[in-house]
Amino acid sequence: MEERIHKPVLLKEVIELLNVQKNKNYIDCTVGEGGHTIEILKKNAPRGRVLGFEIDRDLYEKMRLRGLKRLILVNDSYSNLKKIVEREKFPRVCGILADLGISSWHLEKSGRGFTFRKDEPLIMKYNFSVEISAMDVVNEFSQDELERIFKEYGNERFAKKIASEIVKERKKRKIERTLQLVEIIKRAVPRWYLRRKIHFATKTFLALRIVVNRELENVRAFLPQATDILEKKGRLAVISFHSLEDKIVKNFLREKEREGILRILTKKPIVPSKEEIIQNPRSRSAKLRVALKIK
Protein backbone atom coordinates (compact mmCIF):
# COMPACT_ATOMS: atom_id res chain seq x y z
CA MET A 1 0.00 0.00 0.00
CA GLU A 2 1.25 3.49 -0.78
CA GLU A 3 2.58 5.28 2.28
CA ARG A 4 0.77 8.46 3.25
CA ILE A 5 2.78 11.53 4.16
CA HIS A 6 2.21 12.75 7.71
CA LYS A 7 0.15 15.94 7.80
CA PRO A 8 -0.51 17.73 11.10
CA VAL A 9 -4.22 18.36 11.53
CA LEU A 10 -5.59 21.93 11.77
CA LEU A 11 -2.03 23.29 11.85
CA LYS A 12 -2.84 26.92 10.99
CA GLU A 13 -5.78 27.02 13.42
CA VAL A 14 -3.75 25.46 16.26
CA ILE A 15 -0.91 27.99 15.93
CA GLU A 16 -3.33 30.93 15.75
CA LEU A 17 -5.52 29.85 18.66
CA LEU A 18 -2.57 28.85 20.84
CA ASN A 19 -1.33 32.40 20.16
CA VAL A 20 2.28 31.21 19.95
CA GLN A 21 4.62 34.06 20.96
CA LYS A 22 8.36 34.67 20.60
CA ASN A 23 10.54 33.41 23.46
CA LYS A 24 7.64 31.76 25.35
CA ASN A 25 7.46 28.12 26.52
CA TYR A 26 4.95 25.56 25.22
CA ILE A 27 4.11 21.89 25.70
CA ASP A 28 3.20 19.47 22.92
CA CYS A 29 1.71 16.42 24.61
CA THR A 30 1.68 14.24 21.49
CA VAL A 31 4.75 14.99 19.37
CA GLY A 32 4.33 12.10 16.92
CA GLU A 33 6.26 12.98 13.76
CA GLY A 34 6.64 16.59 14.87
CA GLY A 35 4.25 18.50 12.61
CA HIS A 36 2.78 20.79 15.27
CA THR A 37 5.98 20.83 17.36
CA ILE A 38 8.17 22.15 14.54
CA GLU A 39 5.71 24.93 13.74
CA ILE A 40 5.58 26.01 17.41
CA LEU A 41 9.41 26.07 17.50
CA LYS A 42 9.45 28.34 14.44
CA LYS A 43 7.03 30.76 16.09
CA ASN A 44 8.52 30.87 19.59
CA ALA A 45 12.13 31.42 18.38
CA PRO A 46 14.77 32.47 19.23
CA ARG A 47 14.65 31.52 22.93
CA GLY A 48 11.29 29.85 23.49
CA ARG A 49 11.30 26.14 24.28
CA VAL A 50 8.94 23.22 23.76
CA LEU A 51 8.54 20.29 26.14
CA GLY A 52 7.44 17.41 23.93
CA PHE A 53 5.86 14.13 25.02
CA GLU A 54 6.00 10.99 22.88
CA ILE A 55 4.92 7.76 24.52
CA ASP A 56 5.98 5.51 21.63
CA ARG A 57 9.66 4.57 21.97
CA ASP A 58 10.18 4.22 18.19
CA LEU A 59 8.65 7.62 17.39
CA TYR A 60 10.53 9.18 20.30
CA GLU A 61 13.86 7.88 18.92
CA LYS A 62 12.94 9.06 15.42
CA MET A 63 12.31 12.60 16.69
CA ARG A 64 15.31 12.58 19.05
CA LEU A 65 17.65 11.82 16.14
CA ARG A 66 16.47 14.99 14.40
CA GLY A 67 18.23 16.96 17.14
CA LEU A 68 15.78 19.87 17.15
CA LYS A 69 17.14 22.80 19.14
CA ARG A 70 15.00 24.14 22.00
CA LEU A 71 12.95 20.88 22.09
CA ILE A 72 13.05 18.94 25.36
CA LEU A 73 11.76 15.52 24.32
CA VAL A 74 10.53 12.92 26.81
CA ASN A 75 9.44 9.31 26.23
CA ASP A 76 6.41 9.36 28.51
CA SER A 77 2.64 9.74 28.59
CA TYR A 78 0.91 13.11 28.85
CA SER A 79 -1.08 11.56 31.70
CA ASN A 80 2.12 12.15 33.75
CA LEU A 81 2.29 15.80 32.69
CA LYS A 82 2.75 17.47 36.07
CA LYS A 83 5.43 15.05 37.25
CA ILE A 84 7.48 15.53 34.04
CA VAL A 85 7.15 19.35 34.10
CA GLU A 86 8.49 19.33 37.67
CA ARG A 87 11.30 16.90 36.82
CA GLU A 88 12.40 18.92 33.78
CA LYS A 89 12.02 22.22 35.67
CA PHE A 90 10.00 23.60 32.75
CA PRO A 91 8.67 27.00 33.87
CA ARG A 92 6.07 29.55 32.74
CA VAL A 93 4.04 27.46 30.29
CA CYS A 94 2.09 29.72 27.92
CA GLY A 95 0.35 27.03 25.91
CA ILE A 96 -0.38 23.30 25.90
CA LEU A 97 -1.42 21.26 22.87
CA ALA A 98 -2.74 17.69 22.84
CA ASP A 99 -3.53 16.11 19.46
CA LEU A 100 -5.29 12.92 20.50
CA GLY A 101 -5.31 11.29 17.06
CA ILE A 102 -3.30 8.28 15.93
CA SER A 103 -0.26 9.14 13.80
CA SER A 104 0.11 8.03 10.19
CA TRP A 105 3.30 6.23 11.25
CA HIS A 106 1.37 3.89 13.54
CA LEU A 107 -0.98 2.94 10.72
CA GLU A 108 1.59 2.70 7.95
CA LYS A 109 4.84 1.57 9.55
CA SER A 110 4.54 0.34 13.12
CA GLY A 111 3.45 -3.21 12.22
CA ARG A 112 1.42 -3.40 15.44
CA GLY A 113 -2.05 -4.07 14.11
CA PHE A 114 -3.53 -0.57 14.25
CA THR A 115 -4.76 -0.90 10.65
CA PHE A 116 -7.31 -3.31 9.24
CA ARG A 117 -5.77 -2.92 5.76
CA LYS A 118 -2.63 -5.02 6.43
CA ASP A 119 -1.95 -8.44 7.90
CA GLU A 120 -0.23 -7.67 11.20
CA PRO A 121 -0.18 -9.09 14.75
CA LEU A 122 -3.02 -7.81 16.93
CA ILE A 123 -0.95 -5.68 19.33
CA MET A 124 -2.29 -2.09 19.12
CA LYS A 125 0.03 -0.79 21.86
CA TYR A 126 1.61 2.67 21.68
CA ASN A 127 3.77 1.74 24.64
CA PHE A 128 4.96 -1.82 25.24
CA SER A 129 4.74 -1.42 29.01
CA VAL A 130 0.94 -1.46 28.63
CA GLU A 131 -0.41 -4.61 30.28
CA ILE A 132 -2.77 -5.96 27.61
CA SER A 133 -2.74 -6.19 23.83
CA ALA A 134 -5.68 -6.31 21.41
CA MET A 135 -4.90 -10.04 21.08
CA ASP A 136 -5.47 -10.48 24.82
CA VAL A 137 -8.79 -8.61 24.63
CA VAL A 138 -10.29 -10.62 21.75
CA ASN A 139 -9.10 -13.98 23.10
CA GLU A 140 -9.69 -13.57 26.83
CA PHE A 141 -12.49 -11.09 27.50
CA SER A 142 -16.01 -12.45 27.93
CA GLN A 143 -18.61 -12.08 25.21
CA ASP A 144 -20.57 -9.57 27.31
CA GLU A 145 -17.42 -7.51 27.94
CA LEU A 146 -16.50 -7.50 24.23
CA GLU A 147 -20.02 -6.38 23.34
CA ARG A 148 -19.81 -3.56 25.89
CA ILE A 149 -16.41 -2.42 24.56
CA PHE A 150 -17.56 -2.35 20.93
CA LYS A 151 -20.77 -0.51 21.85
CA GLU A 152 -19.34 1.95 24.35
CA TYR A 153 -16.03 2.82 22.69
CA GLY A 154 -16.80 2.14 19.04
CA ASN A 155 -20.51 2.95 18.90
CA GLU A 156 -20.78 -0.26 16.85
CA ARG A 157 -24.39 -1.16 16.07
CA PHE A 158 -23.52 -4.83 15.47
CA ALA A 159 -21.47 -5.17 18.67
CA LYS A 160 -23.43 -8.20 19.90
CA LYS A 161 -23.02 -10.18 16.68
CA ILE A 162 -19.32 -9.30 16.36
CA ALA A 163 -18.64 -10.33 19.97
CA SER A 164 -20.53 -13.59 19.44
CA GLU A 165 -18.59 -14.37 16.24
CA ILE A 166 -15.25 -13.65 17.98
CA VAL A 167 -16.09 -16.07 20.81
CA LYS A 168 -17.16 -18.73 18.30
CA GLU A 169 -13.92 -18.35 16.31
CA ARG A 170 -11.55 -18.36 19.28
CA LYS A 171 -12.91 -21.74 20.39
CA LYS A 172 -11.47 -23.14 17.14
CA ARG A 173 -8.20 -21.20 17.04
CA LYS A 174 -6.52 -18.23 18.67
CA ILE A 175 -7.20 -14.86 17.01
CA GLU A 176 -3.73 -13.39 16.42
CA ARG A 177 -3.79 -11.31 13.21
CA THR A 178 -5.61 -8.23 11.99
CA LEU A 179 -6.99 -9.83 8.81
CA GLN A 180 -8.26 -12.76 10.86
CA LEU A 181 -10.30 -10.29 12.91
CA VAL A 182 -11.46 -8.45 9.77
CA GLU A 183 -12.84 -11.74 8.38
CA ILE A 184 -14.67 -12.44 11.65
CA ILE A 185 -16.27 -8.97 11.59
CA LYS A 186 -17.19 -9.48 7.93
CA ARG A 187 -19.09 -12.67 8.80
CA ALA A 188 -20.88 -10.98 11.69
CA VAL A 189 -22.33 -7.94 9.89
CA PRO A 190 -24.99 -7.74 7.15
CA ARG A 191 -23.90 -7.49 3.53
CA TRP A 192 -25.05 -3.87 3.11
CA TYR A 193 -22.72 -2.87 5.98
CA LEU A 194 -19.75 -3.99 3.90
CA ARG A 195 -20.55 -1.47 1.16
CA ARG A 196 -20.59 1.65 3.31
CA LYS A 197 -18.09 4.48 2.82
CA ILE A 198 -16.53 3.81 6.24
CA HIS A 199 -14.84 0.41 6.41
CA PHE A 200 -16.90 -2.14 8.34
CA ALA A 201 -14.01 -2.90 10.75
CA THR A 202 -13.30 0.75 11.65
CA LYS A 203 -15.36 0.93 14.84
CA THR A 204 -14.21 -2.42 16.23
CA PHE A 205 -10.54 -1.54 15.71
CA LEU A 206 -11.08 1.91 17.26
CA ALA A 207 -12.73 0.40 20.35
CA LEU A 208 -9.90 -2.10 20.83
CA ARG A 209 -7.25 0.64 20.49
CA ILE A 210 -9.00 2.84 23.08
CA VAL A 211 -9.23 -0.01 25.61
CA VAL A 212 -5.66 -1.29 25.13
CA ASN A 213 -4.08 2.17 25.53
CA ARG A 214 -6.51 3.47 28.18
CA GLU A 215 -7.02 6.51 26.00
CA LEU A 216 -10.06 7.98 27.76
CA GLU A 217 -8.53 7.51 31.23
CA ASN A 218 -5.39 9.30 30.03
CA VAL A 219 -7.40 12.28 28.74
CA ARG A 220 -9.26 12.54 32.05
CA ALA A 221 -5.97 12.46 33.96
CA PHE A 222 -4.31 15.02 31.67
CA LEU A 223 -6.86 17.86 31.60
CA PRO A 224 -6.72 18.99 35.27
CA GLN A 225 -2.91 18.75 35.25
CA ALA A 226 -2.72 20.93 32.13
CA THR A 227 -4.99 23.53 33.73
CA ASP A 228 -2.82 23.66 36.86
CA ILE A 229 0.45 23.98 34.92
CA LEU A 230 -0.63 26.80 32.59
CA GLU A 231 0.36 30.36 33.39
CA LYS A 232 -2.43 32.92 33.70
CA LYS A 233 -3.50 33.89 30.13
CA GLY A 234 -1.98 30.63 28.90
CA ARG A 235 -3.98 28.53 26.44
CA LEU A 236 -5.01 24.88 26.31
CA ALA A 237 -5.75 23.36 22.88
CA VAL A 238 -7.07 19.82 22.42
CA ILE A 239 -7.79 18.04 19.14
CA SER A 240 -10.06 15.01 19.55
CA PHE A 241 -11.13 12.50 16.93
CA HIS A 242 -14.09 10.66 18.36
CA SER A 243 -17.18 11.64 20.29
CA LEU A 244 -16.19 10.15 23.65
CA GLU A 245 -12.91 12.09 23.77
CA ASP A 246 -14.61 15.26 22.60
CA LYS A 247 -17.32 14.90 25.24
CA ILE A 248 -14.71 14.58 28.02
CA VAL A 249 -12.87 17.69 26.77
CA LYS A 250 -16.06 19.73 26.25
CA ASN A 251 -17.47 18.90 29.69
CA PHE A 252 -14.17 19.61 31.43
CA LEU A 253 -13.77 23.02 29.78
CA ARG A 254 -17.36 23.96 30.59
CA GLU A 255 -16.92 22.95 34.23
CA LYS A 256 -13.72 25.02 34.56
CA GLU A 257 -15.44 27.97 32.86
CA ARG A 258 -18.25 27.78 35.44
CA GLU A 259 -15.60 27.77 38.18
CA GLY A 260 -14.03 30.91 36.68
CA ILE A 261 -10.71 29.16 35.96
CA LEU A 262 -10.88 28.96 32.15
CA ARG A 263 -12.64 30.89 29.41
CA ILE A 264 -13.61 28.86 26.36
CA LEU A 265 -12.40 30.50 23.13
CA THR A 266 -14.13 28.07 20.77
CA LYS A 267 -17.85 28.12 21.52
CA LYS A 268 -18.18 25.51 18.78
CA PRO A 269 -15.26 23.21 18.00
CA ILE A 270 -13.04 24.14 15.05
CA VAL A 271 -13.20 21.48 12.32
CA PRO A 272 -11.07 21.01 9.18
CA SER A 273 -12.00 22.82 5.98
CA LYS A 274 -13.19 20.86 2.93
CA GLU A 275 -9.79 21.53 1.36
CA GLU A 276 -7.94 20.00 4.33
CA ILE A 277 -10.19 16.92 4.33
CA ILE A 278 -9.51 16.40 0.61
CA GLN A 279 -5.75 16.67 1.19
CA ASN A 280 -5.82 14.65 4.41
CA PRO A 281 -8.93 12.41 4.70
CA ARG A 282 -7.89 11.30 8.19
CA SER A 283 -8.56 14.82 9.46
CA ARG A 284 -12.29 14.52 8.75
CA SER A 285 -13.37 13.76 12.32
CA ALA A 286 -11.00 16.21 14.06
CA LYS A 287 -12.43 18.75 16.54
CA LEU A 288 -10.31 21.47 18.10
CA ARG A 289 -11.33 23.09 21.39
CA VAL A 290 -9.30 25.89 22.99
CA ALA A 291 -9.55 27.65 26.35
CA LEU A 292 -7.75 30.55 28.06
CA LYS A 293 -6.69 30.35 31.71
CA ILE A 294 -8.05 33.37 33.53
CA LYS A 295 -7.46 32.44 37.19
pLDDT truncated to tens, each residue of the chain (295 aa)? 333 446 799 999 999 999 999 999 999 999 999 999 999 999 999 999 999 999 999 999 999 999 999 999 999 999 999 999 999 999 999 999 999 999 889 999 999 999 999 999 999 999 888 889 999 999 999 999 999 999 999 999 999 999 999 999 999 999 999 999 999 999 999 999 999 999 999 999 999 999 999 999 999 999 999 999 999 999 999 999 999 999 999 999 999 999 999 999 999 999 999 999 999 888 999 999 999 999 8
CA angle 221, 136, 178 (to 5 degrees): 100
CB-CB contact of 287 with 239 (8 Å): yes
Beta-strand runs (E) in the chain:
25-28, 50-53, 71-74, 93-99, 230-240, 262-264, 287-293
Residue 161: CB atoms within 10 A of its CB come to: 17
CATH number of 11-105+215-293: 3.40.50.150
pLDDT computed for residue 95 by the predictor: 98
CATH 1.10.150.170 applies to domain 131-212: yes
CA distance 263 to 246: 17
CB-CB contact of 75 with 81 (8 Å): no
How far apart, in Å, are the Cα atoms of 257 and each of 16, 23, 77, 225? Answer: 21, 28, 26, 16
User: β-strand 230-240 against 71-74: which pairing, if any?
Assistant: unpaired
CA distance 90 to 75: 16
End-to-end CA distance of the chain: 50
Q: Which burial class, exposed, middle or buried, applies to 292 when counting CB atoms under 10 A from its CB (0-12, 13-18, 19+)?
A: middle
pLDDT computed for residue 4 by the predictor: 43
pLDDT computed for residue 295 by the predictor: 86
pLDDT computed for residue 6 by the predictor: 61
CB-CB contact of 232 with 92 (8 Å): no
Residues 49-72, buried b or exposed e (16+ Cβ, 10 A)? bbbbbbbbebbbebbeeeebeebb
Please compute, for residue 208, the number of CA atoms within 13 A of its CA located in the half-sphere on the CB side.
30
Helix (H, G, I), strand (E, B) or coil at 102: coil
Residue 88: CB atoms within 10 A of its CB come to: 12
> What are the residue boundaries of the structural domains of the chain, listed by start?
11-105+215-293, 131-212
pLDDT computed for residue 3 by the predictor: 39
Residues 6+ apart with CB under 8 A from 274: none
Give Dmax (Cα) for the chain.
62
CA distance 100 to 102: 7
Q: Smallest Cα–Cα separation from 37: which of 6, 58, 5, 4?
A: 6
Residues 6+ apart with CB under 8 A from 156: 150, 162, 203, 204, 207
